[in-house]
Amino acid sequence: MSLANKYVIITGATSGIGKEAAMALARENAHIVLPVRNLEKGEKVKKEIGQHYGNPFIYIMECDLASFDSIRSFAREYKNRFGKLNILINNAGIWETQRKETKDGIEKNFGVNHLAPFLLTNLLLDELKAVDFARIINISSEAHRHSKFDFDDPEGKKKFSSFKSYGQSKLANILFTRYLSNLVRDDGITVNCLHPGVVATNLFDKMNPFLKSVFSFFMVSPRKGAETTIYLATSPEIKGQTGEYFVKRKIKRPSSAALDDEAAKKLWEISCDYTGL
Ligand X SMILES: NC(=O)c1ccc[n+]([C@@H]2O[C@H](COP(=O)([O-])OP(=O)(O)OC[C@H]3O[C@@H](n4cnc5c(N)ncnc54)[C@H](OP(=O)(O)O)[C@@H]3O)[C@@H](O)[C@H]2O)c1
Looking at the annotation, which residues are catalytic?
A: 166
User: 103 vs 265, which CB is nearer to ligand X?
Assistant: 103
Dist CA 96 CA 170 (whole Å)? 13
Per CB under 6 A, 75 contacts ligand X: no
Per CB under 6 A, 88 contacts ligand X: no
Virtual torsion, Cα 10, 12, 18, 19, nearest 10 deg: 100
Q: Are 42 and 60 in contact (CB under 8 A)?
A: yes
Amino acid at 86: N
Q: Are 91 and 196 in contact (CB under 8 A)?
A: no
Among 86, 141, 165, 242, binds ligand X (CB under 6 A): 141
The three-class DSSP label of residue 272 is helix
CB-based burial label for 122 (10 Å; 0-12, 13-18, 19+): middle
Among 3, 7, 8, 14, binds ligand X (CB under 6 A): 14
Dist CA 39 CA 106 (whole Å)? 24
Contacts with ligand X in 181-200 (CB under 6 A)? 195-196, 198-199
Per CB under 6 A, 66 contacts ligand X: yes
Among 49, 203, 233, 267, binds ligand X (CB under 6 A): 203
Among 3, 8, 16, 107, binds ligand X (CB under 6 A): 16
Nearest approach in angstroms of CB 155 to ligand X is: 16
Q: Are 25 and 52 in contact (CB under 8 A)?
A: no
Q: Binding string to ligand X for residues 210 to 249, with x set by CB under 6 A, is what?
A: ----------------------------------------
Per CB under 6 A, 254 contacts ligand X: no
Per CB under 6 A, 12 contacts ligand X: yes
CA atoms within 13 Å, Cβ hemisphere of 240: 1
User: 12 vs 254, which CB is nearer to ligand X?
Assistant: 12
Strands 245-247 and 250-251: antiparallel
Nearest approach in angstroms of CB 93 to ligand X is: 2
Nearest approach in angstroms of CB 53 to ligand X is: 19
DSSP 118: H
Residues that bind ligand X (CB under 6 A): 12-18, 37-38, 41, 64-66, 91-94, 112, 139, 141, 195-196, 198-199, 201-203
